[in-house]
Amino acid sequence: MAEDIQHNQKSNFNGLTKPAKAGASKKLIIKNFKDRPKLTDSYTEDTWLKLRDAVGAIQNSTSIQYNLEELYQAVENLCSYKVSPMLYKQLRQVCEDHVRAQIHQFREESLDSLSFLKRMNRCWQDHCRQTIMIRSIFLFLDRTYVLQNSLLPSIWDTGLELFRAHIVSDSGVQSRTVEGILEQIERERNGETVDRSLLRSLLGMLSDLQVYKDSFEQRFLTETTRLYAAEGQRLMQDRDVPEYLHHVARRLEEENDRVISYLDQSTQKPLIAAVEKQLLGEHMTAILQKGLRTLLDESRECELTLLYELFNKVKGGLTALLQSWREYIKSSGGEIVSSPEKDKEMVQELLDFKDKMDLVSQRCFQRNDTFINAMKEAFENFINKRPNKPAELIAKYVDSKLRAGNKEATEEELERILDKIMIIFRFIHGKDVFEAFYKKDLAKRLLVGKSASVDAEKSMLSKLKHECGAAFTSKLEGMFKDMELSKDVMIQFKQYMQNQTDPSNIELTVNILTMGYWPSYIPMDVHLPAEMVKLQEVFKLFYLGKHSGRKLQWQPTLGHAVLKTEFKEGKKELQVSLFQTLVLLIFNEADECSVEEIRTATGIEDGELKRTLQSLACGKARVLNKTPRGKEVEDADRFHFNSDFRHKLFRIKINQIQMKETVEEQVSTTERVFQDRQYQIDAAVVRIMKMRKTLSHNLLVSELYNQLKFPVKPADLKKRIESLIDRDYMERDKENANQYHYVA
């Protein structure tokens, strides 16, 4: 209905204005209005009284005597007769009087805060409802007069303005309202249920009245900060870190929910920021110090994920977490690496530790690259804290996995273990130590025939080649080649033997090892039985006949043999080392021997001999008896053949002793590495100096660090430089001691 009236009015206007603009195609005839009907003088007065009554009725929530259409029409009429300004003024006055009167109900001191809030809410709701109603009646005024006049607020805005000016701007009322709201929020934070719709309505009011930011938000944020500052302090003391983290997460969720339910959207950012700052930002160091170690130690993925997510929100959080994570790996890893009494488990522990840290970075730290890189860096750092030993132990660990009799792993598992080992290996600086021990162990596996699988060996070799380049593995590959060539040679040798007139009753297998490829073995002179010596000569003749100019050197330490033996129980075959063979063969002639007699007969060096005797008389398979009994072999001990020996197997291996690493071996391998390093330093210095001719000390040292692939101390470099000066490979500048010259 209102629409219709408006439409009519508009068409009137159109009638007036359109012809002036158009006038092209259609002709319109414009006629003047008839004279306006005059109003009675009292009309304005009467109509206003009518309207005022209606407004009064709305404000007092009583029924209106006139129907609304009539009132609307009245407003329209008044407006048509240019009394809009007065009408607006009068209306405003009436509203103002009413709103002003409302303040009294809030003056009551006795009211408790909740009732106060409720009253305020009711008052506000009433005010809104009334204003809408009034605006509907005065819509014509609003549209035609107020909106045209940019200086005047619309009826609705006037209502808000009045409410703000007379109710909410009253400092007492405002502070009671805000206090009340804050109190309700605090209650809710403390776990009580509160009337959320009431809060939403009141906060909406503050927002509508545009006092939300100034009167409420600031106080609210201060309160929040205060509350959570205290809570953060308290809970950090009382609770352990995982609990605390869960609490923080819950708090953040609650506050977000609060924003959605009744706070203004604009508060979300500062609110969440305040909570995060107070509960997390302020306690970052404490949380990390107090809790990270335990969380990581116990691999508590859920809490670690939470920790990461929470710290991600705080400024500088991830940096702090990253730092602590790096420290943790360094110290925990350092513990694994740097306790010699735990060397046996070191590599396994390293692998487990790496797995654990990988898991954390994958699952909890969202595969963050900086975290993964920090982990790598930390690993490299701690693993090299203790020089050489980790490399040695990694090599031995690989040996233990590649050795025959290792039934714990299938091919695929073995492959996976080797891959993991390579990751650890990558961190090692002194790879030459690894190479030396790996080579020593590989040699034993190949020569004693204890390698678990050729495929696994080859796979490991290709991994090393991939990692360190062909130069690193060329000798190792040479070892494999030697083994293959030896097989061919042995086939030819067998044919050769068949054509011999004097066939031997011993079968001989020889592996021909190229010097340089293999670890160097100290040649040991032992007394071989005549048959063996003869066979050696035959082979020598055969081999040198094919390859003249070569030199053969026999390595008795590496030899092994199968002996046929008759015990009371029956025939057995003993798989033994060459040294063991020599000892056992003595008992073909003698029943009982002293250590001294055996030593004279075999020529085996003392330490080696005792180890050999121990393996035969004190090990699992005791083919010799020792008097007196005991675990250790003493000089005065006597041995005799144990013909009562029993064993469930036909062929018995007693040569594990050959696979064992002796202390001397370990020491000499390490020493050889160090010796090699000296040569490498010397070579690098000379190479650099030859190219540069003249170089300052510092440049030479930094160039050396670029070229050398193993860790070395500056003092070590200096010693080598001095040694080269002493040997006239280079000289110091006569005037400037910091400058070196190459001496051609």
Partner 1 sequence: MPVKKKRKSSGSEDPSIRKCKITSYCRTQTPGRMVNPEDQFSNKKCLAWFYEYAGSDDIVGPESMEKFCEDIGVEPENIVMLVLAWKLEATNMGFFTKEEWLKGMTSLHCDCTERLQGRLDYLRSQLNDPVIFKSIYRYAFDFARDKDQRSLDMDTAKSMLALILGRTWPLFPVFHQFLEQSKYKVMNKDQWYNVLEFSRTVNTDLSNYDEDGAWPVMLDEFVEWHKARNIAL
Site pattern 648..687 for partner 1 (x: CB under 8 A): ----------------------------------------
Q: How many CB atoms lie within 10 A of CB 272?
A: 16
Please identify, using beta-carbon distances, which residue of 670 and 723 lies nearer to partner 1.
723
Q: How far is the CB of 734 from partner 1 (least distance, A)?
A: 9
Please identify, using beta-carbon distances, which residue of 527 and 732 lies nearer to partner 1.
732
Please identify, using beta-carbon distances, which residue of 652 and 730 lies nearer to partner 1.
730
Q: How far is the CB of 279 from partner 1 (least distance, A)?
A: 48
Please identify, using beta-carbon distances, which residue of 129 and 727 lies nearer to partner 1.
727
Select the span of 251-259, 393-401, 461-469, 692-700 touching partner 1 (CB under 8 A): 692-700
Q: How far is the CB of 689 from partner 1 (least distance, A)?
A: 13
Q: How many CB atoms lie within 10 A of CB 24?
A: 6
Please identify, using beta-carbon distances, which residue of 385 and 718 lies nearer to partner 1.
718
Residue with tokens 């702090």: 320
Q: How far is the CB of 254 from partner 1 (least distance, A)?
A: 59
Q: Is 10 in the site for partner 1 (CB under 8 A)?
A: no
Tell me how far apart the alpha carbons of residues 606 and 678 are, in angstroms, rounded to a whole number: 32
Select the span of 292-300, 425-433, 642-650, 695-703 touching partner 1 (CB under 8 A): 695-703
Tell me how far apart the alpha carbons of residues 170 and 399 are, in angstroms, rounded to a whole number: 87
Please identify, using beta-carbon distances, which residue of 555 and 696 lies nearer to partner 1.
696
Pick one of 328, 641, 740, 742: the residue that binds partner 1 (CB under 8 A).
740
Please identify, using beta-carbon distances, which residue of 12 and 738 lies nearer to partner 1.
738
Tell me how far apart the alpha carbons of residues 160 and 462 are, in angstroms, rounded to a whole number: 82
Those residues whose C-beta lies under 8 Å from the C-beta of residue 126, and which sit 6 or more positions away, are: 61
Those residues whose C-beta lies under 8 Å from the C-beta of residue 463, and which sit 6 or more positions away, are: 418, 419, 422
In the 3-class helix/strand/coil scheme, how is 72-107 assigned residue by residue? Answer: HHHHHHHHHCCCHHHHHHHHHHHHHHHHHHHHHHHC
Omega within 30 of 0 (cis) for the link into 628: yes
Distance linking the first and last C-alpha atoms of the chain: 114
Site pattern 91..120 for partner 1 (x: CB under 8 A): ------------------------------
Q: How far is the CB of 678 from partner 1 (least distance, A)?
A: 14
Q: How far is the CB of 690 from partner 1 (least distance, A)?
A: 19
DSSP label of 553 = -
Q: How many CB atoms lie within 10 A of CB 191?
A: 7
Residue 652 contacts residue 621 (beta carbons within 8 Å): yes
Select the span of 18-26, 402-410, 597-605, 691-699 touching partner 1 (CB under 8 A): 691-699
| Positions 697 through 726 that interact with partner 1 (CB under 8 A) | 697-698, 701, 714-715, 718-719, 721-722, 725-726
Please identify, using beta-carbon distances, which residue of 488 and 726 lies nearer to partner 1.
726
Q: How far is the CB of 670 from partner 1 (least distance, A)?
A: 22
Residue 276 contacts residue 229 (beta carbons within 8 Å): no
Give the three-state DSSP class for 563.
Answer: strand
Tell me how far apart the alpha carbons of residues 402 and 450 are, in angstroms, rounded to a whole number: 9
Please identify, using beta-carbon distances, which residue of 709 and 732 lies nearer to partner 1.
732
Q: What are the DSSP E strand ranges found in 578-706?
A: 592-594, 624-627, 638-641, 651-653, 694-696
Q: Is 694 in the site for partner 1 (CB under 8 A)?
A: no
Pick one of 136, 732, 741, 743: the residue that binds partner 1 (CB under 8 A).
732
Select the span of 28-36, 64-72, 657-665, 690-698 touching partner 1 (CB under 8 A): 690-698
Dihedral (CA of 292, 295, 299, 304) sign: negative
Please identify, using beta-carbon distances, which residue of 512 and 725 lies nearer to partner 1.
725
Q: How far is the CB of 716 from partner 1 (least distance, A)?
A: 9
Please identify, using beta-carbon distances, which residue of 275 and 721 lies nearer to partner 1.
721
> Total residues contacting partner 1 (rule CB under 8 A)?
17
Select the span of 153-161, 183-191, 491-499, 696-704 touching partner 1 (CB under 8 A): 696-704
Please identify, using beta-carbon distances, which residue of 362 and 739 lies nearer to partner 1.
739
Tell me how far apart the alpha carbons of residues 640 and 584 are, in angstroms, rounded to a whole number: 10
In the 3-class helix/strand/coil scheme, how is 27-55 assigned residue by residue? Answer: CCCCCCCCCCCCCCCHHHHHHHHHHHHHH
Q: What does the DSSP assignment read for 623-655?
A: -EEEES--SS--TT-EEEE-TT---S-SEEE-T
Interface with partner 1 (CB under 8 A): 696-698, 701, 714-715, 718-719, 721-722, 725-726, 732, 737-740
